[in-house]
Amino acid sequence: MIILGIDPGLRTTGFGVIEKHGSKLRYIASGTIKTGLEGALPPRLKIILDGVREIVATYQPACAAIEKVFVNVNPQSTLLLGQARGAAISALVGADLEVAEYSPTQIKQAVVGTGKAAKPQVQDMVSRLLTLPGLPGSDAADALGVAICHANTHDTLALIGSIGPQLTGLRMKRGRLV
């Protein structure tokens, strides 16, 4: 199964493509979509939309995952990030892909083992997990981390979904079934 991970950003949107065979992960591609620092918002969102569409057309993923927006100190930055994220999600659902969403903490937990990991730790672990010859760029590493998180979570979610009718009365609390 080919998985596309997206780390949304208005200036730079990272992408990472991996393949999962059983429990093995294989690196396919990663990089960034750059919109530049200046310019009107709508053309920059179009660059993200078109870039994600091109990546989907090139690598034909079976599913996609994207990082959730976290709340910044600056509400304007949060709104702009949300719009960039919306452009990426629109491209993914426009290609009829299932899109999963993960918080930064969930991604770091899945890749590094702690939700409070620093960016260099994520870069290092992504490089190790995918046996890359070097460290990927920060945005590409984050996107690969999103894809790895989904690869590790997808099977569990499918299993829970298949036994869902048997789980009546149970609920999720702090990421655990209780």
User: Looking at the annotation, which residues are catalytic?
Assistant: 7, 67, 139
Interacting residues of 170 by C-beta distance below 8 A, sequence separation 6+ = 177, 178
In the chain the beta strands, taken as DSSP E runs, fall at 2-7, 12-21, 24-34, 63-67, 98-102, 172-173, 176-177
- Alpha-carbon span 25 to 172, nearest angstrom: 28
Determine phi and psi for 112, rounding to 5 degrees: -100, -30
For helices 119-129 and 138-162, the axis angle rounded to 10 degrees is 70
